[in-house]
Chain A
Amino acid sequence: MSHYSNPEVPHEVNVSEKTPLRDFARLSLGLCLLAAVVVAAVFFMARLFAPKIPFRYEAALNDTLPQGFAHRVAAPACRIAGEAALQHLAEELALAMALSEEMRLHVHFNDSADPNAFATLGGNIVVQRGLLQHVASENALAMVLAHEIAHIQHRDPIVSIGGGVAVAVLFSALIGNSDGGVLVGWAIGFTQMRFSRDQESAADDAALKALQARYGHTHGADEFFAYILASHPNISRIPTFLSTHPTPPARLETIRKSFSPTPQKLTPLPEALRQLQECGIKPDASLIGAS
Chain B
Amino acid sequence: MGDLLSQFSTIIFVVILMGVAFIFGSIGQSRHYRSIKRREWQLRRILVFNEKMPPASFAGQEFALVSGSVVMGSDHFRQVLAGLKSIFGGRLGSFETMLDRGRRESILRMKEQAARMGATAIFNVRLETSVLSSREGRKQGLACAELIAYGTAWRGSDKPHAA
Give me the interface of A with B, judged by CB distance under 8 Å.
1-6, 8, 11, 14-18, 20-21, 23-24, 27-28, 30-31, 34
Contacts and interface: CB of A to CB of B under 8 A. Distances in A.
Give the interface centre of A21, A23, A34 by most chain B CB atoms within 10 Å: A23
Interface of B: 22, 26, 44, 47-49, 55-56, 77-78, 80-81, 84-85, 87-88, 91, 93-94, 96-97, 100, 104, 121, 159-163
Nearest to A24: B81
Given A5-B47, A28-B84, A20 B162 contact: no
Contacts of B104: 11
A30 B81 CA distance: 12
Contacts of A2: 162
A128 to B, nearest CB: 27
A203 B11 CA distance: 44
4 closest residue pairs by CB, A with B: A17-B93, A1-B162, A27-B84, A16-B93
Contact of A27 (B26, B77, B81, B97): B81
B23 to A, nearest CB: 11
Contact of B163 (A1, A6, A17): A1
Contact of B96 (A5, A16, A21, A34): A16
Contacts of B48: 6
Contacts of B55: 1, 4
Contacts of B49: 4
Contacts of A4: 47, 49, 55, 121, 159-161
A3 B162 contact: yes
Contact of B93 (A1, A3, A5, A23): A23
B97 A15 contact: yes
A51 B160 CA distance: 83
Contacts of B80: 24
B77 A24 contact: yes
Contacts of A1: 55-56, 162-163
Contacts of B56: 1
